[in-house]
Amino acid sequence: MNQVVTAKPVGARPFSVFERMVAWRYLRSRRNETMISVIASISFLGIMLGVATLIVVMAVLNGFRAELLSRILGINGHLIVTRVDLPLEDYAELAKRINGVAGVKYAIPLVEGQVLAQGNVGAGSGALVRGIRGEDLGKLTLLASNIKQGSTAGFDTAGGVAIGSRMAANLGLAPGDTIALTSPDGDVSSLGTTARQKGYPVTAIFEVGMSEYDASIVFMPFSEAQTYFNSEGKAQSLEIYVDNPDDVDALKPKVEEAAQRPIFLTDWRQRNQTFFSALQVQRNVMFMILTLIVLVAALNIISGLIMLVKDKGHDIAILRTMGATRGAIMRIFLMTGAAIGMTGTLAGVLLGVVICLNVERIRQFFSWLSGTVLFNPELYFLSQLPAKMDVSETVSVVLMALVLSFLATLFPAWRAAALDPVEALRYE
């Protein structure tokens, strides 16, 4: 008995060459389809700019946080040890014991105090004096690698201080000049406490790139700071630097055990909790707000496809009468809308990457063009505009844009598939 073989209709396979050809044909504009072409172009540009804006803004916020974190943790300890009862007169032995804890890089004893700093020009400004040993000053890589003028060699015996570049500019100081420091915690006499004022030669000028530190911190030899702040023979705190700042919780019990005395421990997250929490909230809010740009562009895809379906009603009816299924019609318009979303997303990613790689040059150009200072270091702490792209975050932006673009094509594609060919051709 002969078996009858039924040939499979051409174009029945999903996303066949026929369906792709028709979808591509609908993407190309004709003279009588100017409005549809304009809407498609606006949709493409909207998705491109939305994706690029999201990537750039999130990269700048990530870079801003990373740069601030590196500078804050480059100058300040990750764990801070202060006394509970007795003064830290055994600071040297305490630092030695803590240095033996696995995960701790080094522990630095400090003497700190607020002073009024005065130089050659201008009014005085508030400053934070940090008394530190010369050997420990060299361990602060961020500081030691950013000495712009002078030197910290022989810091313990030079009898001078190291100041930030902004403080030097504000007070008109250069290496070799004298900076006058006035402390309210001075000498105690029968008439009460009098302010202590003393001049120190400037031996070094540093610039760590964070304006707050460059304008307000003075590093002084540890022994001199003990004398100046009436702390002879003791330290006010120990700052501990660890291999991984995120592991401070696991290190706290080990440090307390190694201390062998009552101590009070705080970490960098507690000291900067409000600041970094505000950055995280800003980051999340910006992501949600800028997502609306992509959503608006996706809505433009809906309007453009609905107009295309209405304009192509006659063509759809003819395709149906020639054997095209509802599924084929739906896939054609799905591919048409998805093509706009995909190309817009890819173009947005490329534009975002280019801007992120040249964000500082772009800032300088617009500063020159407008004649104003964009991203003022006095307000934003950093001297340059940072950008740090996160791969997982970029992928999430791309997926979000693609999903929104795909969802936007569903309703117009369904409308096209549901079109009745008899009704469409009744008046032809």
* Burial class (CB within 10 angstroms; exposed 0-12, middle 13-18, buried 19+) of 343: middle
Contact 76, 271 (CB under 8 A): yes
Contact 128, 161 (CB under 8 A): no
Largest CA distance in the chain: 127
Helix (H, G, I), strand (E, B) or coil at 195: strand
Contact 203, 138 (CB under 8 A): no
Sequence-separated (6 or more) residues with CB below 8 Å from residue 411: 302, 306
245 pLDDT band, cuts 50/70/90, is: confident
Alpha helices in 175-272 (DSSP H): 211-216, 222-228, 248-259, 268-271
> Tens digit of pLDDT for each residue in 161-189?
999 999 999 899 999 999 999 988 766 66
User: Which pLDDT value is given to residue 168?
Assistant: 92
- Mean pLDDT over 408-419 rounds to 81
Q: What is the mean pLDDT of the chain?
A: 82
Put simply, whether the predicted model's pTM sits higher than 0.95 gets the answer no
- Mean pLDDT over 273-288 rounds to 82
Asked whether residue 358 carries a pLDDT value surpassing 80, the answer given is yes
Closest C-alpha among 250, 257, 252, 220 to residue 236:
220
22-25: Cβ within 8 A, 24+ apart? 22/319, 22/332, 23/331, 23/332, 23/333, 23/335, 23/336, 23/339, 24/339
In this predicted model, which residue has the larger pLDDT, 365 or 206?
206
- Helix, strand, coil percent content, the chain, rounded in steps of 5: 55, 20, 25
User: Which pLDDT value is given to residue 35?
Assistant: 59
Closest C-alpha among 361, 285, 290 to residue 56:
290
Asked whether residue 4 carries a pLDDT value surpassing 60, the answer given is no
Q: What residue ranges in 42-177 does DSSP mark as E strands?
A: 79-83, 104-118, 125-132, 147-150, 161-164
Alpha helices in 8-90 (DSSP H): 17-27, 34-75
Structure tokens at 13: 């396979």
Contact 412, 240 (CB under 8 A): no
User: Which pLDDT value is given to residue 298?
Assistant: 80
- Mean pLDDT over 304-313 rounds to 74
> Tens digit of pLDDT for each residue in 221-239?
999 999 898 888 889 999 9
- Mean pLDDT over 96-105 rounds to 90
- Mean pLDDT over 211-229 rounds to 90
User: Which pLDDT value is given to residue 6?
Assistant: 43
Residues of 181-217 as b/e, b for ≥16 C-beta within 10 angstroms? Answer: bebeebeeeeeeeeebeeebebbbbbbbbbbbbbbbb
Sequence-separated (6 or more) residues with CB below 8 Å from residue 342: 402, 405
- Residue % of the chain over a pLDDT of 70: 86
Contact 144, 124 (CB under 8 A): no
- Mean pLDDT over 240-267 rounds to 88
Asked whether residue 10 carries a pLDDT value surpassing 50, the answer given is no
User: Which pLDDT value is given to residue 31?
Assistant: 54
